[in-house]
Structure 1
Amino acid sequence: GVRAGLARVIAGVGIPVVLVTHDMADAAALECDVAVLDRGQVVQHGDRTALMARPSTPTVATLMGANLLPGTARPGPAGLTEVVLDTGGTLASGETGSGRVGVVVDPWDVTLVHGRPGDSQLNHLPGTVASLTPVGNRVRVQVGPVTADVTALSAERMGLAVGAPVTAVFKALSTRLVVLGDEPDRLP
């Protein structure tokens, strides 16, 4: 394909190449360092794995394909941070934060359940399935403000369908917090 051909050309020229894209699949296919620009400023630079693990801004988080749930953080029980979501509900995070934040959670860290979730995963967001999008051997499921990735087999076994009630659950330790604000964060 085009990405494989481009990767061969870049490898063949042996010099640094600047590739401008809005599609992280391009950067992933080329296995290159990524510099994320927001409003003309470099807000984060590094390899794709580092950006996914520690997004510095809401823009980086959403570009990496993560869920971004805005809310207000405050100290919570047991050393956790409690985030009251703008959309309603409260989440727990293992990270420290206060004030306006975005809770970042990757779609593959979200589990969908019918009925009452277990106690291990502290974050429970009940809702209905808004959409199901097949992507290879998995299905991307939209439930309220959260996207979850499940295997196609799991989606079939759960009987997932648009309008079906489910609860999206994830661990407090699967979350990251990013500061929300009007201006992009700048690298030091």
Structure 2
Amino acid sequence: MSTGRGLDARLIVRRAAFELDLALTAEPGEVVALLGPNGAGKSTALRALAGLVPTSGGHLRLGGRDLRRLPADRRGIGMVFQDYLLFPHLSALENVAFGPRCQGAGRRAARRRAADWLERVGLAEFASARPRALSGGQAQRVALARALAVEPGLLLLDEPLAALDAHTRLEIRAALRRHLAGFGGAAVLVTHDPLDAMVLADRIVVVEGGRLVQEGTPADVARRPRTDYVARLVGLNLYRGRAEAGSVLIGEGLTGDGLTGEGPIGEGARTLDTVDSLEGEVFLAFAPSSVALYRTRPDGSPRNLWRARVAAVERQGDRVRVQLAGPPFDAVAEVTPAAVAELHLVEGSLVWAAVKATETHVYPA
């Protein structure tokens, strides 16, 4: 809930085949990340905040001021675009000084402010360089300095790290975190990368199909996903069901790889035992690394044991993700390459899968 000092918006944008209806708040000093799949409406929301896309309804206030009727250049908003959009014919210094000049600052004052910001982002020695002479990371920092030089009440960042290579991304992500920590206004970040959201944001808003489907701190969202998309991002198996007497009857299964399954379960019930005492509609989640795989039925018959078919085997770094197809439900396991060889895990092979009740996490739906 906004206190009135930051951003308080309800963004309604209607197009022929899409409607965005998103309530969004951000307090001064807070970084909010918009996370969601392609076409969810994240960039549309950002452009509606900036005044680059007209809204069909709702409200948009920043520091208590109504922005809906103001043109983009009078909203007190800074924006960093995905491709930075630096003016190619201007030097880095002149790019950063452009905003203050538009606000009415004199040439000398604007250049002093620009030089100060280039020093803050570590590019003082590149003041005279044109954009074509800058690396991707340097261009990103110039774009950030240009956005902050107008002293905005709201900073918008549209996939600010997407155009960078992996090594540069790591370096610039850390620098961006420092600059955002020192920014006194509200900030809204759009990203497809869950790591960017987890590292840079104080709060995550997940958008799917133009609607808010989940929000919370990065830790809350990662620990308690509420949709298949979020489960995939954080790498969890996720199911919805009904909890009763220490077990969960799985209804429509959701997993971290978007698979669903229902139907009779062969040997066992369509239930998973847990150590939680919740009752009623719940989500149940567990990590792929919690799933143990066996070629034959294991001794002791763990309570959460089911027969599954290997649907796919995919190497990820020093681990291997194994997609398991139901019935009773689909799941993802994570094992070592040695386990793949020992268990002869190939597409189509049958295995026994087990997960301990203590490895499951249950929370209200």
- TM interval, short-chain normalised: 0.7 to 0.9
Helix, strand or coil at the partner of 1:104? strand
Matched, 1:4 2:170: yes
Structure 1 pair 34–160 and aligned structure 2 pair: CA distance change class (3 A): farther
**TM-aligned CA deviation for residue 31 of structure 1:** 6.1
In structure 2, C-alpha distance between the alignment counterparts of 1:38 and 1:166, rounded to whole Å: 36
In structure 2, C-alpha distance between the alignment counterparts of 1:62 and 1:143, rounded to whole Å: 15
Matched, 1:140 2:306: no
Which protein shows a greater Rg?
2
Relative to the length of structure 2, the TM-score reads 0.42
Structure 1 pair 178–90 and aligned structure 2 pair: CA distance change class (3 A): same
Q: Percent identity?
A: 29
In structure 2, C-alpha distance between the alignment counterparts of 1:4 and 1:161, rounded to whole Å: 35
Relative to the length of structure 1, the TM-score reads 0.76
Cα deviations by residue, 1:12-39 (Å, 9 ceiling, x for unpaired): 52327533223323335x3654413245
Q: Contact (CA 8 Å) 2:204, 2:221: kept in 1 or not?
A: no
Aligned length: 173
Structure 1 pair 143–81 and aligned structure 2 pair: CA distance change class (3 A): same
- Structure 2 counterparts to residues 10-89 of structure 1, below 5 A: 10-13=176-179, 14-15=182-183, 17-28=187-198, 30=199, 32-38=201-207, 40-41=211-212, 43-48=214-219, 50-53=220-223, 55=224, 57-58=226-227, 60-75=230-245, 80-86=246-252, 87-88=262-263, 89=270
Please, which runs of 5 or more residues in structure 1 have no aligned partner? 181-188
Q: Contact (CA 8 Å) 2:206, 2:214: kept in 1 or not?
A: yes
Cα deviations by residue, 1:144-169 (Å, 9 ceiling, x for unpaired): 11001111121122111111111221
Q: Contact (CA 8 Å) 1:94, 1:173: kept in 2 or not?
A: yes
**TM-aligned CA deviation for residue 112 of structure 1:** 1.0
Greater RCO, 1 or 2 (C-alpha within 8 Å, sep 6+) = 1
- Give the alignment's Cα RMSD to 1 decimal: 2.7
- Structure 2 counterparts to residues 114-125 of structure 1, below 5 A: 114-119=295-300, 121-125=302-306
Q: Contact (CA 8 Å) 1:58, 1:179: kept in 2 or not?
A: no
Letter in 1 for 2:343: M
Please, which runs of 5 or more residues in structure 2 have no aligned partner? 1-165, 253-261, 264-269
Q: Contact (CA 8 Å) 1:130, 1:143: kept in 2 or not?
A: yes
Structure 1 pair 64–160 and aligned structure 2 pair: CA distance change class (3 A): same
